[in-house]
Amino acid sequence: MNDRTIWLTDRYGAQQKDDARDDDATLAQLSVLLDTIAVDDGDEEHRTVSLTDEHEWNLEFRPDRVLLENVGDEGDEVGVLRDLDRAEQLAIARDFLTGGADALRGRDWS
């Protein structure tokens, strides 16, 4: 369990704050959100979900890629990982939940 505050954002922008959380429960919630964007329903504008932490690091999930960025005023984009299956997406999310953005820097972001 981690003590950072995390927000899950669904495809329509609704946020759920998760303060004292269980990482496995958060991953389960994210998996449900990923299901909502998995099927192409023609609504490309609303095909992202995300995890954001209190330091303004954000993991944005699309069906074909994951973006890591800092969304703060002085933030920056780290990069994108493409063509990931669900297990890989959830592994990235688990690393983010347990270690923040620093835990993800070793990946091959492009």
Confirm whether 41 is domain-assigned.
Answer: yes
Confirm whether 95 is domain-assigned.
Answer: yes
Res 1 pLDDT > 70: no
* Region at 34 (left for phi over 0; alpha for psi -120 to 50; beta for the rest): alpha
Confirm whether 97 is domain-assigned.
Answer: yes
What average pLDDT score do residues 28-51 get? 94
Confirm whether 44 is domain-assigned.
Answer: yes
What average pLDDT score do residues 58-78 get? 94
Q: Which domain holds residue 29?
A: 6-104
Task: Note the pLDDT tens digit of each residue in 73-84.
Answer: 988 889 999 999
Q: What is the mean pLDDT of the chain?
A: 92
Domains contained in the chain, number: 1
**pTM tops 0.85:** yes
Confirm whether 1 is domain-assigned.
Answer: no
Task: Note the pLDDT tens digit of each residue in 11-23.
Answer: 999 999 876 568 8
Mean pLDDT check: name the lowest of 41-45, 54-58, 69-73: 41-45
Cβ burial, residue 6 (10 Å; 0-12/13-18/19+): buried
Confirm whether 45 is domain-assigned.
Answer: yes
